[in-house]
Amino acid sequence: MALEIRRIPALTDNYIWLIHDAASGETVVVDPSEAEPALAAAEARGWTIGQVWNTHWHPDHTGGNAGIVAATGAIVTGPEAERARIATLQRGVGEGDTVQIGDHVAQVLETPGHTAGHVVFHFADDRLLFSGDTLFAMGCGRLFEGTAAQMFANMRRFAGMPDETVVYGAHEYTLSNGRFALTVEPDNTALIERMAEVERLRDAGEATLPTTIALERATSPFLRAESIKEFAERRAGKDAFR
């Protein structure tokens, strides 16, 4: 049975993702910036959160951990490399580890760059990727604790995933990302068409995530960068872009 996934808007532009497996009745919350909206969304469906998965230590991804644990006794899984910065971390994971909801298994991939220990959760069989602050729609995370070479390597891994892989990033940055993307590839027709749709959605107050690897491969200047140098130039360009 397919996993059910719910998007919960939080803070200014964060998305908390709720994963539910009807077969086992288990529920996981990914990157809860806040506890209340996640608990309320679960409760509204009669679900109980049993696990928290964190992609990295930033407070807008872990701020809800303690409240969710207090309310539900959930187990917190996140990057072992960031244990010192995630006070609520119980199970530390890294490259090669797996996490599980019911019978559905996700591979943990280390994707350093935004933070040094950032991980993503990849359900290869289910074709789902919870990408935290590493991959956004037409964007990637800022390089706070890592290098362009590391982030470029992450992009190459994502680019190698199957087209239909659905990507659940943690922020609604799509409009700004797309505007920057158009400065890089003003003649990319897939990008032009996508931005028309993104503008329509945002004007209507709707979300633009999740996305897919196919769409990102066609439109993201970061997934489309062909060298570390080109990637680094684009990342620096986006940092300065207003």
**Which residue, 58 or 238, has its beta carbon nearer to Zn ion?**
58
**Which residue, 13 or 193, has its beta carbon nearer to Zn ion?**
13
Q: Kindly list the residues in this chain that would bind Fe ion in the complex (CB under 5 A).
A: 60, 133
Query: Rule CB under 5 A: is residue 118 a binding residue for Zn ion?
Result: no
CB 89 within 8 A of CB 78: yes
Annotation marks residue 104 as catalytic: no
Residue 19: C-alpha distances to residues 16, 26, 48, 95, 123 (Å): 10, 8, 11, 21, 12
Give the torsion sign (CA, 181, 183, 188, 192): positive
Annotation marks residue 56 as catalytic: yes
Q: Which does 234 bind (CB under 5 to 8 A by kind): Zn ion, Fe ion, none?
A: none
DSSP string, 123-185: ETTTTEEEEETTEETTEE---SSS-HHHHHHHHHHHHTS-TT-EEEESB--HHHHHHHHHHH-
Give the nearest distance from C-beta 25 to Fe ion in angstroms.
29
Which region, judged by CB under 5 A, interacts with Zn ion, from 20-28, 71-79, 129-137, 191-199?
A: 129-137
Query: Rule CB under 5 A: is residue 58 a binding residue for Zn ion?
Result: yes
Q: Which does 194 bind (CB under 5 to 8 A by kind): Fe ion, Zn ion, none?
A: none
Strand partners, 104: 101
Give the nearest distance from C-beta 179 to Zn ion in angstroms.
21
Query: Rule CB under 5 A: is residue 133 a binding residue for Zn ion?
Result: yes
Give the nearest distance from C-beta 134 to Zn ion in angstroms.
9
Annotation marks residue 97 as catalytic: no
Look up residue 7 and give its amino acid.
R
Three-state DSSP at 70 gives: helix
Give the nearest distance from C-beta 140 to Fe ion in angstroms.
12
φ and ψ of 66, to 5 deg: -60, -40
Among 81, 138, 159, 83, residue whose Cα is nearest residue 113: 81
For Zn ion, the binding residues (CB under 5 A) are: 58, 133
What are the residue numbers of the active site?
56, 58, 60-61, 114, 133, 171
